[in-house]
Structure 1
Amino acid sequence: FTPFKDVDQDTYTVSQSFNLDPKETIYGLGILQNGKMSQRNLEVKMIQANREDYIPFFQSVKGYGLFWDNYSPTRFSDDTSATSFTSEVGDGIDYYFMYGGNADSVIAHMRQLTGQAPMFPLWTYGYWQSKERYKSQEETVGVVKKYRDLGVPLDGIIQDWQYWGDNYHWNAMEFLNEEFPNPQKMVDDIHALNAHIIISIWSSFGPKTQPYKELEKDNMLFNFSTWPQSGKSDWPPNMDYPSGVRVYDPYNPKARDIYWKYLKKGLFSLGIDGWWMDSTEPDHLDITPKDFDEKTYLGSFRKVRNAFPLMTVGGVYKHMREATSDKRVFILTRSAFAGQQRYAANTWSGDTEASWKTLKDQISSGLNFSLTGIPYWNSDIGGFFIWEFKDKLDDPEYRELYARWLQFATFTPMMRSHGADAPREIYQFGKKGEPVYDALEKYINLRYSLLPYIYSEAWQITNQQSSLMRALVMDFPNDEKVLDLNDQYMFGHSFLVAPVLKSMYTEDKKENFQQDGYRQVYLPKGTEWFDYWTGERFS
């Protein structure tokens, strides 16, 4: 315990060290994007960010878990001398040790402690199309119609930001953009096409919105810099015209009530099926130490910083459950904290860049996140930004990367195509009879053939505290070769998945689908295996 002055409160910086066996592998800590399966020999500063979601929890191959129960910025450190958590603010040291004997039992203990995971609607496990962004209701509905015309399955379409108009009306949670003249018709048209829609909502508000004005009256808005910083759409931000956008205080129950009041009035009333809660970390730009002195309903922002996503996601979940029991809740969110599984939330890995390395890093990120007890995770198919590929969709290597990413996503809890810089609909990649298009269609159809299996596994998550995306250590803890394997995993209890993680058919920016490509697959010992495509049996 080190005495610490948190604004005007006498408290402590707290730290606890543990001794682990040198060869012991540990897992968890959240979404780290570091490509590591075992989280030994690293130091991490845990503050929620766009592409990193930190959960101060790890579990060991020896069958125990440890949850460090602290919401403030925390440093996790593991080296030859010790394994430790150190948090900036703590009135005491508070942690839970749980022994289960195996990974599933440890996760069951964690969920018993922090909450069970409810079932999602069946349609959420289908294929999702999105992009940054559909700019009119005609375009949004048109995408669904095009998929129907092609005969390619699609369950969900996502409306991204700016349906509210300009940045001064940021996150108004109503349609103010003239390109969306009849939002009720848009929702009805999508439902008539037997599809569902979720919509982007944020943790911040522009100064001309109704929520902003009501929250400001009771001092329930923070003053640190967030995105967008400018009222103009220029890049870089034109700070001659500051946006005035401010993050709200979700720790305050009254603020959560106000948030839902406008969400219910402007969007829920239209019959929108779920919520894409973006920037739930939240976006925190140009960070200064003074930012953490901001007062929240539960103390300084420093004291409760990392629980922000838990509070804002939980507010929407609880209010929707109170409003109706006619439909299950589904929330897609960019950030998470321990226990967020109880709020029907699927976390995606943030604004990733398109590269083969990033694709590979998603595997260990998703697996370690799942090992913290939060079972629903996905990544933007194809990567959010396409910076590395100058020709975007005209780059043969990017088209191959996109196809491989979609194949990987077929075996993740949510199969969602999304990104900036170029559209990602299947028809942007050619037409039927062409290799990339056919690969995409094949795996979308494969996803639908697996839906009964996926839905049954999802029930095991809710009823038996199971996990859908499973690190190999969960099912084969006695096989030392899988303990730190970061490019294969189990999808449910039956499928071993080994994504292709490097280019096979693209050389010198030319496609060569005649050459043979392959990757090695390790079959864990202790069971018999069957090739899904051929039925061939392997020991």
Structure 2
Amino acid sequence: MQNLKFALSGIILFALVHHVNAQSNKSNFTKTQSGVKVSFKGSETALDQDVYLDVITDKIIRVTALPYGHPFPAQSSLVIVDSLHRQLKKFEVQSTDSTINLTTADLIAKVSLVSGKVGFFDLSGKRVLTESKRNSDAFIADSYGGDAFYKLTQDFVVDPDEGIYGLGQHQNAIMNYNRGKQVTLLQYNTEIGIPFLVSTNNYGILWHNYSITKAGDIRPLLPLNAFKLTSKEGEKGWLTATYVNKHKPDEVFITRPESIIEYSYLTDQHKFPKDVKLVDSKVIYEGRISSSYSGKHVLHFKYSGYMKVWIDGQLVADRWRQSWNAGTFEIEQEFNKDVDHDIRMEWLPDGGESYFTVNWQSPVPEKRKSMFSFNSEAGDAIDYYFVYGKSMDDVVSGYRRLSGKAPIMPLWSFGFWQSRERYKTQAEIESVASEFRRRKIPIDNIVQDWSYWSEPDWGSQQFDQTRFPDPSGMIKKLHDQNYKLMISAWPKINEESSVFKSFRDNKWIYTRNIYDGRKDWIGKGYTSTFYDPFNQEARDAFWQLLDKNLFQIGVDAWWMDASEPDIHSNIDLEERKSVFQPLIGSSVRYYNAFPLQNAKGIYEGQRETDPNKRVFILTRSYFAGQQRYAAAAWSGDIASRWHDLKDQISAGINFSMSGTPYWTMDAGGFLVENRFHNPNPADQEEWREMNTRWYQYGTFLPIFRAHGQFPYREPFNIAPDTHPAYKSIVYYINLRYKLLAYNYSMAAKTFFEDYSMIRGLAMDFPKDKNGLNINDQYLWGPSLLVNPVTEKGATSRSIHLPEGVDWYNLYTGQVNQGGQDIIAPATYERIPVFVKAGSILPIGPSIQYTTEKKQDLIDLYVYDGADGQFSLYEDEGINYNYEKGKYSHIDITFDHKSKTLYLADRTGVFDGMLNERKFNVIFVDAAHSTGIDMKAKRSKMITYSGKALKIKL
């Protein structure tokens, strides 16, 4: 009867309210069980389309728009969790002459009956976000491989001063994507595309699409010759390109005009001069450029080798990437219309196959200055989830409500990780493990990189017995020394491997690359391909290989390299699509989702095999929802250069603000210039300084892991123990372990409260407009402001202290007022780290590994100046019993006005819980400055046995 009343009320509402509007606006609406459908047919002011609003929660509404009369997309989602149960509360649908209004307990969504565009408003009617009207390019019919779909475009109207973050990990040093930024969501080595953004206006958009997508300013990039070009000699229409002998700079191989610089892929190599060996060349581009526009121009570069760019005599870029691994960067320049600017580009290809492309964006047109857009290659509908919240954390929580929680990573993962490319023998890895313990450098994890298998047997997931004669014994020995082992497990299979035939015969692999005969770079070169994780049987078979050959002999964690999948780094996108053909559908439609499905198979496989052992996956590519599979990302094969070090900061912050909390990078950088292989004294010292700064930064990330090509990255291989580099590196590894209680409590907060450990300044200080664009500072949890040093020889750096609160120097306790920029000391051995007033910061004992001893004595630093709160979390550390309620919290609060610290009754219990501990409470204020490098001037030792305490400070 109730359902009948519901249906009749919808019919009556439609009939009475919408009869006239349906005639005039050629639109009508239907109330559905979870929202509303508004249809447009034959309207002069709107596309023929159906627009659906689907209420997920009071704060989350799904919007789906598709051409009129087309069926609603029926595919099950790879991103949205299968267990999503809507807790539908009351919502109302009302009609006006111009809109259909859907109101929940927290927001209002309106569909214009004139244009079909959707807008979101708070309950007071204040605009939060609105669509722009969909026009003819919203749905462009297309197909690929027999799969029919639409190219999709949706524009949104945003506020000019809001901050927009997330969208994955990108190497362009951009923090805030609002106003004139373009980002491509594409899985590629060093680039991660995640279609979720979060705004300082406290909303998020989860763009529900798996295909390659452009976001932000989606206008096509312009080729170089869209500028007015003038050669060095004064000729119109090109720049002068001079190819000289890099060994004899006075010897010119060839000079020629170039008006388009587009050498992006292997298929572009033929465009270079035929008789010139790039490996022996230096290419100099000279001339002048002018634009037909005034305003900010953005030059987009893709390059490998060495690249320097001067504009009007000023050096604006000095970069390097190894020849096979092209990188990207951007240069922003203010140009006035028709004004010539001198340009000089020096390119040292540094390899046989070389890549160099220059494109640019013109200034943002006035009508687009308030617009943020998505443009996807393939989909059935414009489909997104609008997520509203009281804060950016609340918005991220909504995203995880949709796509899955991030499990608590195992306790040992918060220790230090040592890796190198690569330990070639069992003896090497055992020797390094023993040396760490001999030197008493804290460490929990050691990593076995690729090629531990015999050369042709890539994909077998088996050790080469000649170099690793006793892998199970090796792992047992590591475990006996309190190490965990992570191992590289590529989703790649060589044609000559022992498992290829079974995967081929069962149709579990992509076969095109085999037929094409494209070879990899190992040994003689082998034809290879990747398994298909979109196929459940293939996922199961891949896990069974890992289980039989690695998990059963004790491997603790999985390193999923090349999970884009990286069929070949430098073939163009169309070739990649032809090689990657998943069972589920076309490569165009599902291009970005490979890493999600790859992680799914491993996570589900291990949890089924051993439900009591926490999964840990490190992966080079990542997609929306992947956090639910215990996956952490690292930023790929970045270079050991200062500019790459700086680029990682904004890359990691935006990745975290994509709702995906676990991120790291290769501390030290992966790719290494030849000058560091046999360095002169100056290069040797630069290498040591750069690695020191990288380790310092890596201390304050979810995963602290050193890795890279030769030279070796162990602290004792970077510098002798008397050197400041060694001393600083060891200091920060020790600090990492002292912060274990803080870091692990944040991990729990990440699971239980959908928290983000790496935090852009805007997350905690959204009203501080001076902090919205800062790309080289971030908050590590609720208390620490981390400021990496990214310039060679720097002994100080500029720091913005967010407004509204005071900041204490972590090492000395000296206090600074917020809302100002300061020059902070940054000695060789320390990076500036500040503690927010009101913080309660637990500092634990020095330990050699995370489980060496219980943290029965914790220094509890309490920073005056504001009220504070911290919840100390503990559980068993290695299993999933916390999902069953086996954990404990000690809630600690500080009342600034009364200078009183409160420890609440401990809640919860778990096996092995410490029933009593001591806290050494250290009170820090302007009159009693003390830091973690100093002996506390003012402290109180208290014993806590689980009952509430009150301490006057």
In structure 2, the residue matched to 1:178 is: 466
Counterparts of 1:50 and 1:89 in 2: how far apart (Å)? Answer: 22
2:739 to 450, 455, 468: 450
- Please point out which of 51, 57, 63 is paired with 2:190: 51
| Structure 1 segment 331-370 matched on structure 2, within 5 A | 331-370=617-656
Q: TM-score, normalised by structure 1?
A: 0.93
Q: In structure 2, what is the equivalent of residue 273 of structure 1? A: 556
Q: How does 1:26-425 map onto structure 2 within 5 Å?
A: 26-40=164-178, 41-78=180-217, 79-80=364-365, 81=368, 82-166=371-455, 168-225=456-513, 230=519, 233=522, 242-285=525-568, 286-287=571-572, 289=574, 291-293=576-578, 295-387=581-673, 389-391=675-677, 395-425=684-714
Residue in 2 aligned with 1:466?
Answer: 755
Aligned to 1:305, the other structure's residue is in SS state helix
Residue 156 of structure 2 corresponds to residue 18 of structure 1: yes
My pick for the range that moved more, 121-130 or 19-28, is 19-28
CA shift for structure 1 position 43: 2.0
| Distance of 2:674 and 2:648 partners within structure 1 | 17
Contact 2:560 2:620 in 1 (8 A): yes
Equivalent in the alignment of 2:811? 533
Deviations 1:106-142 (A, max 9, x none): 1000000000000111110111100000000111011
List per-residue Cα deviations over 1:223-258 (Å, max 9, x = no partner): 4559x9646635xxxxxx551211111000000010
Question: How far does the alpha carbon of each residue in 1:23-47 deviate from its partner, in whole angstroms, 9 at most, with x for none?
Answer: 2221011001110110132223322
Q: From the superposition, tell whether residues 225 and 51 of structure 1 become closer, same or farther in structure 2 (CA, over 3 Å).
A: farther
- Measured after TM superposition, the shift of residue 284 of structure 1 is 3.0
- For the 8 Å contact 1:392–1:398, the answer to whether it is kept is no
Cα drift, residue 208 of structure 1: 3.0
Provide the rounded CA distance (Å) in 1 between the counterparts of 2:697 and 2:504. 44
Residue 183 of structure 1 aligns with an amino acid whose one-letter code is P
Indicate conservation of the 8 Å contact 1:382/1:406, yes or no: yes
For residue 7 of structure 1, what is the amino acid of its counterpart?
Answer: G
Does the CA-based 8 Å contact 1:224-1:291 persist in structure 2? Answer: no
How much does 1:430 deviate? Answer: 2.5
Alignment of 1:488-499 (within 5 A): 488-499=777-788
Q: Which residue of 1 is the match for residue 71 of structure 2? A: none
Which residue does 1:503 correspond to in 2?
A: 792
Cα distance in 1 between the residues matched to 2:520 and 2:567: 17
Would you say the 8 A contact 2:417–2:446 is kept in 1?
yes
DSSP 3-state at the match of 2:387: strand
State the secondary structure of the residue aligned to 2:396: helix
Deviation by residue 1:181-215 (Cα, 9 ceiling, x = unmatched): 00011100100111110100011111233432221
Letter in 1 for 2:506: D
Q: CA deviation at 1:476?
A: 0.8
Give deviations 1:13-32, integer Å, cap 9, x for gaps: 11111111222221011001
Q: Is this contact kept in 2: 1:163–1:177, CA < 8 A? A: no
What's the counterpart of residue 839 of structure 2? none
The residue identity in structure 2 corresponding to 1:115 is: G
The 3-state SS of whatever aligns with 1:522 is strand
Report deviation, 1:177. Answer: 4.4
* Structure 1 unpaired stretches of 5+: 235-240, 506-516
CA distance in 2 between counterparts of 1:366 and 1:388 reads 27
- Alignment partner of 1:523 out of 760, 776, 801: 801
TM-score norm. by structure 2 comes to 0.53
Q: Which has the higher contact order (CA 8 A, sep 6+)?
A: 1
Aligned AA (1:31) = Q
Q: Residue 511 of structure 1 corresponds to which residue in structure 2?
A: none
Is the contact made by 1:331 and 1:345 (CA closer than 8 Å) also made in structure 2?
yes
Letter paired with 1:261:
Q
Distance in 1 of aligned mates of 2:804 and 2:513: 54
Distance in 1 (CA, whole Å) between partners of 2:672 and 2:659 is 32
Distance 2:162 2:174 in 1: 15
Give yes or no for contact 1:71–1:303 (8 Å, CA) kept in 2: yes
Q: CA offset at residue 495 of structure 1? A: 0.6
Change (3 A) 1:145 1:313: same
Aligned CA distance change for structure 1 residues 462 and 143 (closer, same or farther; 3 Å): same
Distance 2:196 2:651 in 1: 14
- Give percent identity, aligned residues only: 41
Which of the numbers 716, 722, 728 marks the counterpart of 1:439? 728
> Equivalent residue of 1:65, what SS?
strand
Q: Structure 1 309/353 Cα, relative in aligned 2: closer, same or farther at 3 Å?
A: same
Secondary structure in 2 aligned to 1:395?
A: helix
Structure 1 residues 32 and 224, CA, compared in 2 at 3 Å: closer, same or farther?
farther
- Aligned counterparts of 1:93 and 1:288: Cα–Cα separation in 2: 23
- Kept in 2, the 8 Å contact 1:400–1:436? The answer is yes
Structure 1 range deviating more: 384-393 or 521-530: 384-393
The structure where strand makes up a greater share of residues is 2
The CA distance in 2 between the partners of 1:193 and 1:149, in whole Å, is 11
- Segments of 5+ residues of structure 2 without an aligned counterpart are 1-138, 218-363, 818-953
Structure 2 contact 177–216 (Cα < 8 Å) conserved: no
User: C-alpha separation between the residues in 2 aligned to 1:229 and 1:523?
Assistant: 53
Mapped contact 1:389–1:398 kept (Cα < 8 A) = no
Distance 1:254 1:490, change over 3 A: same
- The one-letter amino acid paired with 1:158 is V
CA distance in 2, matches of 1:9, 1:333: 29
Is the contact made by 2:622 and 2:633 (CA closer than 8 Å) also made in structure 1?
Answer: yes
Change (3 A) 1:232 1:429: closer
CA distance 1:231–1:526, change in 2 (3 Å): closer
* Cα displacement string for residues 51-108 of structure 1 (whole angstroms, at most 9, x for unaligned residues): 0000111111111111111011112232551321111111111111111132101100
Provide the residue aligned with 1:6 in structure 2.
144
C-alpha distance in structure 1 between counterparts of 2:512 and 2:182, whole Å: 27
RMSD, aligned α-carbons: 1.8
Aligned to 2:26: none
2:530, 2:567 within 8 Å by CA — same for their partners in 1? no
Matched residue SS, 2:382:
coil
